[in-house]
């Protein structure tokens, strides 16, 4: 039996809806602590809205359906469901880290329904403004205090989109704020593992702490970051460092979730007051 998971909120007597759009994850434990928590806290912060879920990864949606019998909606399917439910005003809030490829596609898919709703407005991804960057830096440094002989290396996803430049900018901002032992890298773009290794070696830490700079601690964190072979952990260990992996997605940090809530409320105040 297939279980649908389009509607999350308790209110069905409203014509206002929030569609929370995530990339998705096939790891249920990290989903409960990240995506689910973000959705729950958005619902609490916006009690007059019905909250819906959509994921952008077709591969993960298909995997969840086959493995668990649970159907997660795409953005297109969720928008269609909201239309059928009588929703008239829509806030689309991504849990994406960047204004990248996934976010561009989400906007394109949602705006295809412009004629079906009175209003569609979009909240911002995590890293959109300079204030966002500063809040994220404060959040992660408070969550992971370091000793003098430790280095913290974040693994971002990386993208071919020009928004990828935010990773190098964040690395610079960490240093500018005095955190010379915090480094930002990506799995699929720049800064790469090769760049990170050179920079970390210059700092000569005793221990390297690896942590995902992604909303969930899912496949990349489990394999590319902390796996036993061909992983960042394995490469740093081979270079002679003690390595500790902290499997904590950004969505587990209360202040990160607060940023998403603020982005939703900003979208409601600015987009729906026109």
Q: Which two tokens stand for residue 45?
A: 């912060």
Question: 157, 161, 220, 263: which is the annotated catalytic residue?
Answer: 157
Q: Which two tokens stand for residue 4?
A: 């649908």
Tell me how long the chain is. 274
Question: What separation, in Å, do the N-terminal and C-terminal C-alpha atoms of the chain show?
Answer: 44
Taking a C-beta distance cutoff of 8 angstroms, is the pair 39, 20 a contact? yes
Active site residue 220: no
Q: Rounded CA gap, 19 and 11, in Å? A: 14
Taking a C-beta distance cutoff of 8 angstroms, is the pair 52, 22 a contact? no
Taking a C-beta distance cutoff of 8 angstroms, is the pair 190, 196 a contact? no
Q: Which two tokens stand for residue 17?
A: 């809806």
Q: Which helix (H) or strand (E) holds 29?
A: helix 28-33
Q: Rounded CA gap, 35 and 27, in Å? A: 11
Q: Which two tokens stand for residue 215?
A: 């909303």
| Paired residues of 20 in beta bridges | 53, 93
Q: Which two tokens stand for residue 83?
A: 């239309």
Taking a C-beta distance cutoff of 8 angstroms, is the pair 148, 177 a contact? no
Taking a C-beta distance cutoff of 8 angstroms, is the pair 30, 102 a contact? no
Positions marked active-site? 157
């Amino acid at each position: 039996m297939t279980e649908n998971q389009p509607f999350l909120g308790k209110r069905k007597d409203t014509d206002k809806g929030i569609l929370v759009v995530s990339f998705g994850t096939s790891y249920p434990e990290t989903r409960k602590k990240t995506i689910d928590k973000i959705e729950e806290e958005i619902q609490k912060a916006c009690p007059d809205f019905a909250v819906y879920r959509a994921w952008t990864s077709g591969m993960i949606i298909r995997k969840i359906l086959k493995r668990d019998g649970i159907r997660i909606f795409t953005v297109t399917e969720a928008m269609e469901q909201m239309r059928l439910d009588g929703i008239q005003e829509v806030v689309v809030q991504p849990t994406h880290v960047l204004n990248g490829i996934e976010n561009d596609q989400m906007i394109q898919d949602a705006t295809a329904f412009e004629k079906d709703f009175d209003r569609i407005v979009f909240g911002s991804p995590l890293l959109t403004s300079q204030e966002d960057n500063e809040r994220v830096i404060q959040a992660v440094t408070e969550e992971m205090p370091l000793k003098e002989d430790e280095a913290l290396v974040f693994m971002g996803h990386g993208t071919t989109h020009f928004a990828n430049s935010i990773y190098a900018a964040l690395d610079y901002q960490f240093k500018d704020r005095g955190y010379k032992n915090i480094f930002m890298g990506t799995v699929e773009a720049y800064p790469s593992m090769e760049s990170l290794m050179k920079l970390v070696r210059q700092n000569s830490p005793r221990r390297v702490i690896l942590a995902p700079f992604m909303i969930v601690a899912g496949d990349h964190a489990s394999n590319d970051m902390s796996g036993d072979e061909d992983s960042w952990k394995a490469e740093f260990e081979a270079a002679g460092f003690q390595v500790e992996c902290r499997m904590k997605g950004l969505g587990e940090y209360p202040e990160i979730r607060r940023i998403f809530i603020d982005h939703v409320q900003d979208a409601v105040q600015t987009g729906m007051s026109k």
